[in-house]
């Protein structure tokens, strides 16, 4: 169908963040929580949370997706109690707990009950922008280099004044060197053999090199790509 109206707009006033939430304090409603999609890299169990922005009015209707990967290499479907008591539990306890808490919900011990209570509830999101660097925090080439990424922190509605921020995007974070094991007799230990582990910059937990990138993305909560 052809265009029926010739609407005039000023291109210089439109930003380049079409796929990224605008910076500022926003309020959004949880419209869906889904676990049918696994992580692309390893096929790990993951919760996909879809948010629709309701405030401020200029951003109303924007949709945002947050990803919470919980499965591990040893337990891709996160079916074992020890998985939830270990690193997966830390991933869930941090960002996912924040998402539920900002909507006024406590963890029930069941992902199905959590989702049933959360969908339809609203919560606040403090959004800042960061430019992705050429090298990721794990020292590997970053496929998202140069892109502007939204970093989200949760708050309960009413705790902060809602509105946009005109702060410029933050510079890329420097790559973090792999952590070494504790020294022995005052001498630095050699890096771990085999795959080894790295220290997560968010939760400070030890994570296997193979799953480090996915873990950090999940641990940061809303730093994953927006939809």
**pLDDT tens sequence across 29-86:** 999 999 999 888 788 888 899 999 999 999 999 988 888 888 888 888 888 888 877 7
The alpha carbon torsion through 137, 209, 202, 113 (nearest 10 deg) reads 130
Cα separation, 10 vs 13, whole angstroms: 6
Contact (Cβ atoms closer than 8 angstroms) between residue 127 and residue 152: yes
User: What per-residue confidence (pLDDT) applies to 53?
Assistant: 94
- Percent of the chain residues topping a pLDDT of 70: 64
Cα separation, 7 vs 40, whole angstroms: 40
Contact (Cβ atoms closer than 8 angstroms) between residue 161 and residue 27: no
The pLDDT of 7-18, averaged and rounded, is 54
Mean pLDDT score of the chain? 76
Tell how many helices (H) and how many strands (E) occur in the chain: 5, 8
Q: State which H helix or E strand residue 26 sits in.
A: strand 24-34
pLDDT tier for residue 176 given thresholds of 50, 70 and 90: low
**pLDDT tens sequence across 187-206:** 444 444 445 566 766 666 67
Supply the DSSP string of 118-138, one letter for each residue.
Answer: HTT-EEEEEEEEEEPPSB-TT
Cα separation, 59 vs 72, whole angstroms: 36
Per-residue pLDDT for 121 more than 80?
yes
User: What per-residue confidence (pLDDT) applies to 222?
Assistant: 40
Per-residue pLDDT for 1 more than 80?
no
Q: Under 8 Å CB-to-CB from 154, ≥6 apart: which residues?
A: 98, 99, 101, 102, 123, 124, 125, 126, 221
């Amino acid at each position: 169908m052809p265009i029926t109206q010739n609407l005039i707009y000023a291109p210089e006033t439109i930003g380049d963040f079409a796929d990224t939430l605008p910076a500022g304090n926003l309020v959004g409603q949880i419209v869906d929580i889904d676990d049918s999609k696994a992580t692309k890299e390893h096929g790990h169990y993951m919760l996909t949370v879809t948010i629709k922005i309701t405030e401020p009015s200029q951003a109303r209707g924007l949709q945002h997706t947050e990803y919470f990967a919980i499965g591990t290499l040893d337990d891709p479907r996160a079916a074992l109690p020890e998985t939830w008591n270990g690193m997966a539990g830390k991933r869930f306890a941090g960002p996912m707990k924040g998402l539920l808490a900002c909507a006024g919900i406590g963890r029930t011990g069941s992902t199905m009950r959590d989702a049933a209570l959360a969908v339809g509830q609203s919560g606040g999101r403090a959004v800042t922008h960061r430019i992705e660097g050429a090298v990721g925090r794990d020292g590997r080439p970053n496929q998202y280099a140069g892109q502007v990424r939204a970093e989200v922190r949760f708050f309960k509605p009413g705790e902060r004044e809602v509105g946009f921020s005109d702060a410029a995007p933050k510079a890329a974070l420097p790559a973090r060197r792999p952590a070494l094991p504790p020294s022995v007799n005052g001498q630095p230990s050699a890096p771990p053999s085999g795959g080894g582990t790295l220290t997560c910059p968010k939760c400070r937990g030890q994570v296997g090199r193979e799953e480090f990138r996915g873990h950090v993305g999940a641990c940061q909560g809303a730093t994953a790509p927006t939809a």
